[in-house]
Amino acid sequence: MAVLSTGKQNNELAAVHLMKSYCLSSLLYACEMWSLNNISTRNVIVALNNSFRNFLNCCWCDKAQRLWCFSAVTCIVDQHRILFYKKLKCNGSALSRVIAKLCHHEILSIATKYGIDCLDVPVYHIKNCIWKTFADTVL
């Protein structure tokens, strides 16, 4: 925690950045293959909240503002799944293309939740649609 301390104050932005860079990426490893349900999503949220509490030196029983919510985790996993599908589809391997064909309908149904009708759009468009939908649901 010495890295996060600047004098007597904690650098909370650095803590969030480190948590996002290291903990979140480790926690969501291979999430492209997950089948999310309420219990597994809640487990991910609990792990993320515990990571934030640890980085920010909060007690688990403190009534802190909820940092992660169900829809944020769902959006992150859905984004990973859609982008992974795009990589599979464009891969030169015949096996990758076969796998992409097998999961095409599932990925397309996930994408339509975010207003994405076609998966042959740029990555930035997919990300924008997902996070715009997330922002609309939170606000």
The set of residues, in sequence order, having a beta carbon less than 8 Å from that of 66 and lying 6+ positions away, is 49
The H or E element spanning position 39 is helix 38-55
Q: How far apart are CA 47 and CA 79, in angstroms?
A: 20
Residues 126/111, Cβ–Cβ less than 8 Å: yes
Q: Measure Cα distances from 100 to 89, 90, 95, 130 in Å.
A: 5, 9, 9, 21
List per-residue pLDDT tens for the chain, 139 residues long. 455 555 545 577 777 777 778 878 888 888 888 877 778 877 887 887 777 777 767 776 655 445 556 668 888 889 999 999 999 888 888 888 888 888 899 999 999 999 999 999 999 999 999 999 988 887 7
Handedness of CA 102, 129, 68, 18 (dihedral sign): positive
pTM attached to this predicted model: 0.75
